Amino acid sequence: MDHRFGYCIDIGHTLRIGVDPVASIRMARDHLYNIHVRDLTPADANGGRTSVPMGDGVMPIREIFRALAEIHYPYFVDLELESHYDDPMPDCTKSFAYMRELINEMGYRAG
């Protein structure tokens, strides 16, 4: 595939359709140009999931960040959070703190 073609993976949508987000990242490799991250609750009786702060759900966040490190992903990781529209900052702050801690534990320096 030409290097100009690539993927933007939304791990929430990936998980919702039953595809392993970690495998998707590894498959895309050099063609992964953007990633949207979120954490989700377990599926309810109807298969629905709710967005929660990073680290509070079932998303394999640690493995996702490991896969990004393995492929030497150089671009943005965009947080998507669809909860508490009236006051999203506490969940955003918690999510960013979780991701920074995880990245630091992996031996990288998160700003």
Contacts of 55 (CB under 8 A, 6+ apart): 39, 61, 94, 95, 98
In whole angstroms, what is the distance from residue 43 CA to residue 60 CA? 15
Give the CA-trace dihedral at 30, 99, 23, 43, to 10 degrees. -140
Q: What is the pTM of this model?
A: 0.89
Residue range 51-93, pLDDT digits in tens? 999 999 999 999 999 999 999 999 999 999 887 788 999 999 9
DSSP string, 70-94: HTT--S-EEE---S-TTS-HHHHHH
Predicted confidence at residue 3, as pLDDT, reads 77
Instruction: Tell me the per-residue pLDDT of 34-51, one tens digit each, with 9 for 90 and over.
Output: 999 999 999 888 888 889
Instruction: Delimit the domains of the chain by residue range.
Output: 7-105
How high is the pLDDT of residue 110?
66
Residue 36 bridge partners (DSSP): 10, 78
Q: What is the pLDDT of residue 111?
A: 60
Decide which of 3.20.20.70, 3.20.20.150, 1.20.1440.120, 3.90.550.10 is the CATH code for 7-105: 3.20.20.150
What's residue 109's pLDDT? Answer: 76
